[in-house]
């Protein structure tokens, strides 16, 4: 039997979430198809939507409904909806509407400024508005910061609920010694790595990207695939939107960024739809979200068995390109080299890229690092971790869009996603027989079904750590990821 108070609360929440989703799609439209001259108007639209959603999220009636429901017996899903709504209400109520609106307006403007600065390869064009964003994020963190926690904890909690720097820092920093050692041993290896040759048409790349989407179970009636400068995923279960990028000299960038974004999209499409726009019908965290994209991209699509299926399709699409068999393709898609771009980096280097950003943004938020020193510090620390000098800002401090849209606290979830993915892959292979035999034939139905049952369908019913414990039968640890990388690349490079 329904509870009138619960129904009133959910009616408020559903409308608010719908407005927030419109704001998210507005950002997608801006990146993919909107004219540059409309940026200022879209900034005002984003600010107006933020003002309305802030008002609804902080409506005083919410607290009355929540307090009343604390005394009522509810189902597990209803209890989770109440818990998640209270978290959202308390967060919103602590932040002044003027601050929320100004953040939305400023970050909407900043995306265009960042894009122009990156094109011009000039950090100074971007640094003034980045300083404004950092000042606003510090104000936001001060409103949210709890006793005994840092300002960065407050921002991190938006993306990975319950996570703190105290728990996260040893987890991530613990990756550096063994990854650095693995990176160096591979660099010292004399093993040859195949090279792609030729030019690869956009049509052929997109056609094969769509074949990959079909293979992993993407629901086209609920989703689409487009091109953009920076691949990303957005939307909802019934309106999933992903993008990829095209490079005529490297089709693997298109194919594997597509698989990565498909992992995000499959998660969204798999969340229980019966719960509508309620809070439970949402991804539980960005780390778990990233685990889905990284698992599909790396443990599945970069595996030797999957390459056996993919190789003939790749050769059919691109002809004489330096790839003649599955082993060539497997070694090529797992090539290791020290590059500058995070999104193009291999599995060995990727988390070192994230650690760099994790350090820098913590210091920016705390005030230990001035914006005037950011580019130099980026370059210095990149040389420390990767042994190479950064050639320019576009390949360094300006390469990522995240800071321009205020996503401080987001970057660590990428490495958390890798950690979670390795744990999930181990559990998947323990519980599903003949995974590799299925992948050799391009059959991914059982993989998707397992992820649906153990991750997707739960939405936000459990906290991230509890979801991972239930799915992988272990607490969060970086050991499965390190073991996976050392085993895989040890074999590839005969280490």
Q: What is the pLDDT of residues 60-95, one digit of tens each?
A: 898 999 999 989 999 999 999 999 999 999 998 899
Q: Band the pLDDT of 26: cuts 50, 70, 90.
A: low
Q: Band the pLDDT of 230: cuts 50, 70, 90.
A: confident
pLDDT tens track for 356-410: 999 999 999 999 999 999 999 999 999 999 999 999 999 999 999 999 999 999 9
Q: Which of 127, 144, 161 is the last residue of a domain?
A: 144
Q: What is the pLDDT of residue 251?
A: 95
Q: Which of 109, 144, 179 is the last residue of a domain?
A: 144
Q: Would you say residue 244 lies in a domain?
A: yes
Same domain for 139 and 177?
no
Q: What mean pLDDT is predicted for residues 205-220?
A: 97
Same domain for 453 and 396?
yes
Q: What is the pLDDT of residue 21?
A: 74
Distances in Å between the alpha carbon of 117 and those of 35, 46, 371, 475? 18, 22, 15, 42
Q: What is the pLDDT of residue 33?
A: 58
Residue pointed to by tokens 């329904």? 2
Q: Would you say residue 151 lies in a domain?
A: no
Same domain for 68 and 180?
no
What's the whole-model pTM score? 0.91
Least confident of 229-233, 314-318, 334-338, 380-384: 229-233
Q: Which of 98, 129, 144 is the last residue of a domain?
A: 144
Same domain for 105 and 225?
no
DSSP string for 225-281 = EEE-SS--EEEETTEEEEEE---TT-HHHHHHHHHHHHHHHHHHHHS-GGGTTSTTS
CATH number reported for the structural domain that contains residue 319 in this entry? 1.10.1370.30
pLDDT tens track for 238-264: 889 899 989 999 999 999 999 999 999
The residue range of the domain holding 260 is: 171-492
Q: Would you say residue 150 lies in a domain?
A: no
Q: What is the pLDDT of residue 181?
A: 95
Q: Would you say residue 385 lies in a domain?
A: yes
**Residues 6 or more apart from 299 whose CB is under 8 A from it?**
421, 422, 425, 484
- Annotated active-site positions, please? 261
Q: Which residue has the higher pLDDT, 42 or 191?
A: 191
Number of domains making up the chain: 2
Q: What is the pLDDT of residue 25?
A: 65
Q: Would you say residue 158 lies in a domain?
A: no
Cβ atoms of 482 and 304 closer than 8 Å: no
Q: Band the pLDDT of 24: cuts 50, 70, 90.
A: low
Q: Would you say residue 233 lies in a domain?
A: yes
d(CA 87, CA 80): 11
Same domain for 195 and 286?
yes
End-to-end CA distance of the chain: 63
Check whether 236 has a pLDDT greater than 70: yes
pLDDT tens track for 93-143: 899 989 999 998 999 899 889 999 999 999 999 999 999 999 999 999 999
Same domain for 180 and 131?
no
Report the helix count and the strand count for the chain, using DSSP H and E: 21, 3
Q: Would you say residue 471 lies in a domain?
A: yes
Cβ atoms of 244 and 261 closer than 8 Å: yes
Q: What mean pLDDT is predicted for residues 425-452?
A: 97
Highest mean pLDDT among 1-5, 422-426, 491-495: 422-426
Same domain for 310 and 409?
yes
Least confident of 19-23, 284-288, 294-298, 314-318: 19-23
Judging by DSSP bridges, how do beta strands 223-227 and 239-244 pair with one another? Answer: parallel
Same domain for 301 and 219?
yes
Same domain for 296 and 418?
yes
Least confident of 27-31, 107-111, 173-177, 205-209: 27-31
Least confident of 32-36, 37-41, 285-289, 482-486: 32-36
Q: What is the pLDDT of residue 1?
A: 53
Same domain for 81 and 208?
no
Q: Would you say residue 166 lies in a domain?
A: no
Same domain for 422 and 296?
yes
Same domain for 120 and 205?
no
């Amino acid at each position: 039997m329904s509870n009138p108070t619960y129904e009133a609360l959910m009616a408020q929440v559903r409308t608010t979430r719908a407005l927030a989703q419109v704001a998210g799609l507005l950002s997608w439209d801006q990146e993919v198809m909107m004219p540059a001259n409309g940026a200022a108007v879209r900034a005002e639209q984003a600010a107006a939507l933020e003002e309305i959603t802030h008002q609804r999220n902080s409506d005083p009636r919410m607290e009355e409904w929540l307090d009343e429901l604390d005394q009522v017996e509810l189902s597990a899903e209803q209890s989770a909806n109440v818990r998640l709504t209270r978290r959202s209400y308390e967060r919103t109520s602590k932040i002044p509407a003027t601050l929320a609106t100004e953040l939305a307006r400023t970050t909407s403007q900043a995306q265009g400024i960042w894009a122009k600065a990156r094109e011009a390869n000039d950090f100074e064009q971007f640094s003034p508005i980045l300083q404004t964003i950092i000042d606003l994020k510090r104000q936001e963190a001060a409103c949210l910061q709890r006793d005994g926690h840092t300002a960065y904890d407050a921002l991190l909690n938006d993306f990975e609920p319950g996570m703190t720097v105290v728990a996260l820092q040893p987890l991530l920093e613990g990756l550096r010694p063994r990854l650095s050692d693995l990176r160096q041993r591979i660099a010292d290896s004399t093993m040859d790595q195949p090279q792609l040759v030729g030019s690869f048409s956009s049509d052929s790349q997109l056609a094969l990207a769509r074949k990959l989407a079909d293979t992993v179970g993407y629901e086209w009636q609920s989703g689409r695939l487009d091109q953009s400068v920076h691949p990303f995923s957005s939307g909802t279960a019934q309106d999933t939107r992903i993008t990829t990028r095209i490079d005529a000299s490297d089709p693997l960038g298109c194919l594997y960024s597509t698989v990565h974004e498909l992992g995000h999209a499959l998660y969204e499409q798999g969340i229980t739809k019966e719960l509508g726009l309620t809070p439970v019908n949402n991804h539980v965290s960005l780390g778990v979200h990233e685990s889905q994209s990284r698992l599909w991209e790396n443990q599945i699509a970069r595996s030797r068995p999957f390459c056996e299926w993919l190789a003939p399709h790749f050769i059919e699409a691109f002809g004489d390109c330096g790839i003649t068999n599955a082993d060539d393709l497997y070694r090529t898609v797992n090539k290791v080299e020290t590059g500058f771009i995070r999104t193009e980096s291999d599995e060995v280097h990727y988390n070192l890229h994230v650690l760099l950003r994790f350090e820098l943004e913590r210091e920016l938020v705390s005030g230990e690092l001035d914006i005037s020193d950011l580019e130099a510090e980026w370059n210095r620390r990149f040389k420390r971790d990767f042994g190479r000098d950064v050639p320019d800002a576009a390949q360094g401090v300006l390469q990522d869009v995240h800071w321009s849209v205020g996503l401080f606290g987001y970057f660590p979830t990428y490495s958390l996603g890798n950690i979670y993915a390795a744990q999930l892959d181990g559990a998947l292979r323990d519980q599903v027989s003949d995974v590799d035999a299925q992948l050799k034939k391009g059959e991914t139905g059982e993989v998707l079904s397992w992820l649906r049952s153990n991750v997707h369908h739960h939405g936000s019913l459990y906290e991230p750590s509890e979801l991972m414990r239930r799915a992988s039968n272990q607490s969060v640890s970086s050991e499965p990821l390190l073991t996976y990388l050392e085993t895989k690349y040890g074999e590839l490079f005969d280490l």
